[in-house]
Structure formats: C-alpha cells, structure tokens
Structure 1
Amino acid sequence: MPSFEDEASLAFAALPLPRRPDAPRLSHARGELLRRIEIVDQHGERRDIDIPSERPLTVFLDKRELVTLMTLGASPELLVLGYLLNQNLIARVGEVESIDVDWSVEAAAIKTHAGVTGLAEKTARRVVTTGCGQGTVFGDAMAQIDAVRLPSAQAARIDQGTLLRILESMRARDNVHRQAGSVHGCALFSGSDMLVFVEDVGRHNAIDTIAGWMAMHGVSGGDKVFYTTGRLTSEMVMKSAHMGVPIIVSRNGVTAMGHELAVRLGMTLFGRAANRHFLCYSGAERFDAQPQVQEPARALADE
C-alpha cells in the first residue's frame, strides 16, 4: 500500500506558489486517503484492494454550524475556503483569519476577522444539488451569478492543440481513480500546463478545493481552463464562473441547466472530451478549431 505522502500526491498536487500576504492561517490536517479491504471476485477468489476513504467534515463558521461535507480530505482547509468563496459567504480570502481541521472530531473551525454580515439571510435557503455525495448550494450563490463578469472571447481563447494536450495530460496522470476508483478529478490549466489537480468523492468538492488554492495564492481565472471528470451541471458551471474561469472541459456531458447557464454567461463548454474526441456545447467563439492537429503519440498508441 502507498505511503501517506504517495497517497497525497495522487489526490492533490499543485504548483508551488507564494501565498498572498492576507491569506489565512491553515492547519495541515492529515488523514488516510485509501483504505485496504478484502473482497471476493467473480471467480470466488479473495484478495485485497484499496478503496477511497470517505469521511464527514462538519464546517463551523465563527462557531456557527454551517454544513457537513462528505470528502476524501486530500486538502480539507482549501476545500473549506473554496466552499465559502463559491457560496458567496465571503467575498475575499482576507476576510478569513484561520481554518483549523481536526479529523478526530471531523470538524473544520473557521475564524473570520470581523464576522460575516447577513450570514443568517445568506444561508436561509439551501438547495440540494445533483453533486456526488450530495452537494448543497445556498440560494444566495445563484442569485449573485448575474454579477459575474468573464473575459471576452478575444481575451480568453483555446485552440485545438492545447485542448488535446490537456486531455493527454489528464489521461496520463497517476491518480486515486486509477488505483481505487470511486472519485472525481478536477484540474486547473494555464495553456496546457497543469497548475493544480484535486480528487474527491464529489466533483463539487474538487472544484471548491481548486477555488481555495487559487484564492490562497492570488491566481486569477480569466486566462485559465478548468477540467473535470464529472458532468457539467449548473452547480459546476456556476462555481467555475465564480472563479472567473470561462472555459470548462469535461470527460462527461452537460445538463440542460448547465448549458443554459453557460450560454447566459458567455462560457465555453467542452464535453465528452477524451483522446481525439470532444463536443463544444457552447462558446465556440472562444475556440480555434484545428482539425488537422493530431492527438499526441501516446494517446494514439492506446487506441
């Protein structure tokens, strides 16, 4: 079985960047990402396999219980920070003083500098989403979506060669899903360079963790591409928009509401994207098609 360090690199990897001066203090909670169990296969043979360790994390914001997230826990502090930002519960990372995760009590304690104005009103309406592990979106997050302003099609673009290199990078990556299954992976790219990669039991958790990483390091989203293995629901599109990322690539498909929201915001969605194949569901004006571009050699060899 891999060491903890090996497990952590499978589920979370990021480019080392300096933290923002106003970034909060984070604990560095460690926990088991994989658990070994015995199974019986179709031949009646017993053997050991690894499965992801799903665990609850109850979030307390200034001592008020907010939500319980079911998570793999690869980087729980960044998950919690990104959740606050994507839910519009805080506007800036500098509002948070510290985030402490204690797995012995399965809790995350967030302390802000001056409290959250209107917290009761912001959290009054909850929407249970289609997210794996069952996600929760507070009604205020969707109400604020029209305030999002993304870069123009001229300022944020992607060409076919870059898209294919992104797909090859994700295909070749060693990860928890390859070893144990049952998780979703998300990544943020600058061009075809991967900046951060996260796996979790729910794709909404993975994107929130990326949002937290971006906030901690002052990384803007306007010229980035977000990749996910999960389907593009309205929640995923909304969170990418909150992060300022106008281009999303998914190995899966898109829901009608996700597509409607992307069109409304001027976002570019690629789905069913694997090897040389993809569909551009919206925002084709950001895409420089190059049909003559060939798939990288390694991917071609696999077909």
Structure 2
Amino acid sequence: MARYLPEMTNNGINRLQTTIVSDEFGEHREVSLTGERPLTIYLDNREIVTLMTLGAQPELLTLGYLRNQSLVDELTHIKSIQVDWDVEAVAVTTHQQKNNLDSLMSRRISTSGCGQGTMFAHVMDSLSELKLQCPVFNAQFIYDVLHALNEYNEIYKQAGAVHGCALCQQNKVLCFVEDVGRHNAVDAISGWMWLNEIKGNDKVFYTTGRLTSEMVIKVAQMQVPLLLSRSGVTEMGLSIAQDIGIGMIARAKGKHFLVYTGQEQFETNTSLLGASAGK
C-alpha cells in the first residue's frame, strides 16, 4: 500500500546573499550572508505562529512544527501545504480539524530557542508519557558519527549564523538541515521523518546548538533515544532527558565529549554501538 502524501509545494528559496565588507586592513571583499525570512503558518485559515527561517525547506519545517506541537495528530489528516513567499506564509489545509485547537493554543511558552522559539504548554504537560531507552554506546561510535558529519554544515562554512541538525543511524547521516534557529532545523527533520515514515528508535540526533528543554522535548517526540551536541546543556534540558531516558552527550568536538545522561549505557571499551541501537 502506497504511503499517504499531502499535496505540497516545493518552494525552498536561496539561502545565501552577499554583501561588501572591509577587513582589518581596510580591504574590501565580498562575503556571504545567511538568509532570514519570516514564515507565518496558517492552519485551516487560523494563524498559528511566525517562524524566522532560512527558507530552504519550508514545507518540511511546517510539517515538523505541527507534529512536534501536537497540532495535527496524523499525516493523513493534512490535505495540503502551500508555501507562498510573496506573502511570507504557508497555508495548511486539513481533512480533519482538531476539536480542541483553541484549548491547545491557549497557553504559549516562549523558549530559549533562537529565532523566536515557542512551545505550547500542552506539549510540556505530556512529558510524563514520554519514556525512551538509551542504547549502549561508546567513544568510537561518537567519533564515527562526528567524522560522518564533517562534510556537512555547508551554510555555516560559507556564512556562519546558522545551526545544523542531523539524524544519523550508526555512522550514516540520513538527513541534515541547517537553519537560523536550531528548533527550526529539528522541526524540519521531524517533518522529513513523518513524510517518509522513518522511525527514531534506532537513530541518533546531532545538533550544533545547546541542548535546551525545547530541543530535548522535540527529539523525544521523534522517539530518538540518543542526543549529541557540540555545545552545552541547560539544567532543564538535563532534567527532562533524565526523566525521559534519553542519552545526552555534549561538548563533543574532536576527540572530546561529556556524557551527561546515559552513563550506565556508556561502554569504555572499543566495541561499536551496542545491538540495542542497531536493530
């Protein structure tokens, strides 16, 4: 049976612009700038949120946002996603609207996510239902994932001012997204997973950004049990990861990393990632 796909535009836009700057010697040179555009999501003609984004994959970003905010229950409920940059908006039409949408949207939490991060309070309320099992892992596995990611971060290398996120399986990068906000990048990957029926239970999620409560919650909703970052961890992010059972590795650069949660699953020998993460 063919998987269901909503009708979608394919309106990603150019992510880089250029400008002329002066260097420390007063010499003029052309440099790249990261694009940043507002995109307002409308769900059945109702304004939901405005996101600041690179605009490279707006349809996936929209899908992932709706999924991670629990504003749409099933992919089959979505009829169409239409992005129009002339009005800087995306119109989502559903076959089946949620009856309690007003209630779900009544409380909105401003998060520490860059680029206007928000999360609806009902998502926070549902945390007690999320339970994952951190897989067995070791240093060599972390090194292999980081090595596989070396060829990515395309926009960052040219212009900076972005975060990169990736979904990995063993040492293979399945999906990599860059955006001005790390929460946008994780939402776009969630949308890609939803669209392609990709499960998260045997995957690893990588981000260049810090591991805040919002990032941990989004990754948990994707059912990914191992989280890797080259940046730091917030206290609430750590607490939520502990409660849910997510393994959290941060400050991962070169051969150095710190295991914040999942220490009991961390093997100090040279074997590769345990079978519990590779099935």
Q: Same fold (TM over 0.5)?
A: yes
Which amino acid is 2:46 matched to?
R
- Provide Cα deviations, 1:180-207, integer angstroms capped at 9, x if missing partner: 1000000000111110000000000000
In the alignment, is the contact (CA less than 8 A) between 2:9 and 2:59 conserved in 1? yes
Which amino acid is 1:251 matched to?
R
Counterpart among 60, 74, 80 of residue 78 in structure 1: 60
Within a 5 Å distance, the mapping from 1:116-131 to structure 2 comes to 116-131=98-113
Cα RMSD (Å): 1.6
Distance, in Å, in 2 between the alignment partners of 1:267 and 1:130 is 20
Query: Aligned to 2:149, what secondary structure does the other structure show?
Result: helix
1:54 aligns with 2:36: yes
Task: State the Cα distance separating 1:289 from its structure 2 match.
Answer: 2.6
Within a 5 Å distance, the mapping from 1:1-303 to structure 2 comes to 21-150=3-132, 152-153=133-134, 156-173=135-152, 175-290=154-269
Task: State the Cα distance separating 1:237 from its structure 2 match.
Answer: 0.3
Distance, in Å, in 1 between the alignment partners of 2:113 and 2:198 is 25
Which structure 1 residue ranges, 4+ long, deviate > 4 Å from structure 2? none
TM-score by length of 1: 0.86
Distance, in Å, in 1 between the alignment partners of 2:271 and 2:79 is 51
Name structure 1 gaps, 5 residues minimum.
1-18, 294-303
Distance, in Å, in 1 between the alignment partners of 2:268 and 2:232 is 20
Taking a change above 3 Å as real, the CA distance of residues 117 and 251 of structure 1, as seen in their structure-2 partners, is: same
Query: Aligned to 2:87, what secondary structure does the other structure show?
Result: coil
Name structure 2 gaps, 5 residues minimum.
273-279
Task: State the Cα distance separating 1:52 from its structure 2 match.
Answer: 0.8
Distance, in Å, in 1 between the alignment partners of 2:151 and 2:268 is 23
TM-score by length of 2: 0.94
Distance, in Å, in 1 between the alignment partners of 2:83 and 2:143 is 38
Task: State the Cα distance separating 1:132 from its structure 2 match.
Answer: 1.1
Identity of aligned residues (%): 45
- Provide Cα deviations, 1:57-99, integer angstroms capped at 9, x if missing partner: 0000000011000000111100000001111112222221111
- How many matched pairs? 272
Which amino acid is 2:124 matched to?
M
Task: State the Cα distance separating 1:159 from its structure 2 match.
Answer: 2.9
Task: State the Cα distance separating 1:43 from its structure 2 match.
Answer: 1.4
Which amino acid is 2:161 matched to?
S
